[in-house]
Structure 1
Amino acid sequence: MKNDLLLIGVSARIYYPAGPVLDLGGVWTKTLHYLEQSVAHWIMHGGALAVMVPAVDSHSLVTRDELNLHDYAEALDGLVLQGGNDVAPESYGEAPLDPAWAGDAVRDRYEMELVDAFVQAGKPVFGICRGLQLLNVMYGGTLLQDIATQRPESRSHRDTSIYERHVHPVVVEPGSRLQALYPGVRQATVNSIHHQGIKDLAPDFSVEARCPEDGLIEAVRWRGPSYVAAVQWHPEFHDRNEPAHFDDMPLLNDFLSAARADRA
């Protein structure tokens, strides 16, 4: 194995055994931390290695102070926040409007600590879907708990019957770094698998893309001293057989280039 390959940390998705809904027994009775295959393959497609960073909760054998996330930030070259459960409304000072939208406060705290460690180490951070929402909340923004409920005039941003095949257009903001990565591209098609979205943008964030049909934010970037960017869609599900769909490789390469520059 080449020792010059980038090591990219990926935040863990968390599965919690939730009673008799699926009585599968065995490993399904345990809390699981996992890395979705498509995210790992997306990172590998850019010539890097994906390394999942475990989380810790009150029932873990390892305590929070024994899992030093700063050690991961020093050892790895960058961080990707993968999608998953909703961000908990309590993380941005609200109560859930519906019990189904209570989110995952444990994962919120873990990922915020993880992002903070990588930012302090000067390592780039890239968020996918929930990752965009988590970053917005971490830096002082808020979320729509459910787009259809709170913005009923908006287009549908999720169709569970077709999952990543549900798409809509995005418009790239002029003068943004995203536009610089895609010269000549003003509008493109992306997948859409989320029911939550940004309500109030974090103060130090810039918008890089929106859905032109309802104005909802689809891509952001931090104006701080290190690389923090995120998209609302899932680049790991990009269909390369659809030329009209957004080509996410320049986005991945830009993130990995930042990681290489920091290593150098």
Structure 2
Amino acid sequence: MSAKRLKIGLSACFSHADPARSLFTNKTLQYVEQSIAHWIMSAGAMVVMVPCPTGETARGDVSLSHYAEWLDGVVMHGGADVWPGSYGEEPLKDAWIGDRIRDLYDLAVVEAFAQAGKPIFGVCRGLQLINVAFGGTLYQDIETQVKGSLRHRDATTYDQNFHEIDIVQNSHLAHLYPGVLRARVNSIHHQGIKDLAPGFDVEAWSSPDRVPEAIRRRGGLNKGYIAATQWHPEFHKAGATDTLNDTAILDDFLGAARAARVKPQPGHLPGRIRDRAARLLRQALLR
């Protein structure tokens, strides 16, 4: 029965109003990427896009907190760069300005689900956004700012760009992959964690340049499940043995969602969604 299936939220991607677009001319589009929705559905969960409730066409009183109360967990989508202003920096290049509006929406989603005690899992941009939400910072461009770095994004090969990671032993991720010290994952990003958010642990590092590739909030289910990977587990091809299997990661998140159905762990974000961003967030998104 559908009532027994987990209901998992998926944060929205934005295509902002564009008068030059031939379809939906000058309209804001919110959407999800197909493969990540299918990844969550592969384990029997139902996926619900969590739309931004504000904007120039907003009507009614539905809020993100209503979604957080109703759903069993949320996955934070990949996509655009994080605006450097979200972690107190100026963009080093115009190309790295990111999406400020989506940042505000994503920060509000994380806040709503954290306060409701519902599990949060981040993918790629989702990892970066979670780190920023809890007080961390980012490299605006790894290749420019990390000496001797790997090429973490290749526009030509896209999801066929890979590198190795070292899994931190005795971490939760290590328990999901017993005996695995090193693994191969896809790499589709040019931003990454610089300063880790307080209260989080790194569970995997890229090898050999040691950029954080997986993080988890300290304290386990008692503190509220928040975890993320820099790679896209949904891009793992079924049956492939040369890259890290995604199944354990998805099962772990959905297991936490089932546990939260029985006993949510309501919490709150520390006072470190940057002060300015918090005010903007309340004014623009949390009506």
Q: What TM-score results when the alignment is normalised by the length of structure 2?
A: 0.87
1:67 CA displacement: 3.5
Worse overlay, 102-111 or 133-142: 102-111
- CA offset digits 1:228-248 (Å, max 9, x no partner): 000000011112242021011
Alignment correspondent of 2:230 = 232
In the aligned structure 1, how far is the partner of 2:46 from the partner of 2:90? 38
In the aligned structure 2, how far is the partner of 1:57 from the partner of 1:260? 30
Q: Secondary structure at the match of 1:194?
A: coil
Q: Select 1:62's aligned residue among 52, 59, 67.
A: 59
Q: Select 1:194's aligned residue among 185, 189, 214.
A: 189
- CA offset digits 1:155-196 (Å, max 9, x no partner): 100011011111001110011000011111111110000000
In the aligned structure 1, how far is the partner of 2:199 from the partner of 2:240? 34
Q: Select 2:200's aligned residue among 191, 199, 205.
A: 205
Q: Secondary structure at the match of 1:3?
A: helix
In the aligned structure 2, how far is the partner of 1:56 from the partner of 1:73? 13
In the aligned structure 1, how far is the partner of 2:204 from the partner of 2:134? 19
Q: Aligned AA for 1:131?
A: G
Question: Residues 18 and 25 of structure 2 are in contact (CA less than 8 Å); yes or no, is this contact kept in structure 1?
Answer: no
Q: Aligned AA for 2:216?
A: R
Worse overlay, 129-138 or 99-108: 99-108
Question: Residues 83 and 103 of structure 2 are in contact (CA less than 8 Å); yes or no, is this contact kept in structure 1?
Answer: yes
1:223 CA displacement: 1.3
In the aligned structure 2, how far is the partner of 1:259 from the partner of 1:132? 18
Alignment correspondent of 2:277 = none
Structure 1 alignment gaps of length 5 or more: none
Q: Does 1:220 align with 2:226?
A: no
Question: Residues 73 and 117 of structure 1 are in contact (CA less than 8 Å); yes or no, is this contact kept in structure 2?
Answer: yes
- CA offset digits 1:36-76 (Å, max 9, x no partner): 1001100000110110000145423338xx34111101100
Question: Residues 163 and 207 of structure 2 are in contact (CA less than 8 Å); yes or no, is this contact kept in structure 1?
Answer: no
Question: Residues 198 and 217 of structure 1 are in contact (CA less than 8 Å); yes or no, is this contact kept in structure 2?
Answer: yes
Alignment correspondent of 2:15 = 15
Report how many aligned residue pairs link the two structures: 259
Q: Secondary structure at the match of 1:209?
A: strand
Question: Residues 128 and 138 of structure 2 are in contact (CA less than 8 Å); yes or no, is this contact kept in structure 1?
Answer: yes
Q: Secondary structure at the match of 2:163?
A: strand
Alignment correspondent of 2:279 = none
Q: Secondary structure at the match of 1:200?
A: coil
Question: Residues 81 and 98 of structure 2 are in contact (CA less than 8 Å); yes or no, is this contact kept in structure 1?
Answer: yes
In the aligned structure 1, how far is the partner of 2:238 from the partner of 2:125? 23
Q: Aligned AA for 1:14?
A: F
1:146 CA displacement: 0.7
Q: Select 1:110's aligned residue among 85, 94, 105.
A: 105
1:2 and 1:257, CA in 2 relative to 1: closer, same or farther beyond 3 A?
same
In the aligned structure 1, how far is the partner of 2:224 from the partner of 2:115? 9
Q: Aligned AA for 1:41?
A: H
In the aligned structure 2, how far is the partner of 1:42 from the partner of 1:156? 26
In the aligned structure 2, how far is the partner of 1:129 from the partner of 1:241? 23
Q: What TM-score results when the alignment is normalised by the length of structure 1?
A: 0.94
1:150 and 1:121, CA in 2 relative to 1: closer, same or farther beyond 3 A?
same
Q: Does 1:139 align with 2:134?
A: yes
Report matched runs for 1:245-264 at 5 Å: 245-264=243-262
Alignment correspondent of 2:274 = none
Q: Aligned AA for 1:250?
A: A
Q: Does 1:161 align with 2:156?
A: yes
Q: Which runs of 4+ in 1 moved over 6 A?
A: none
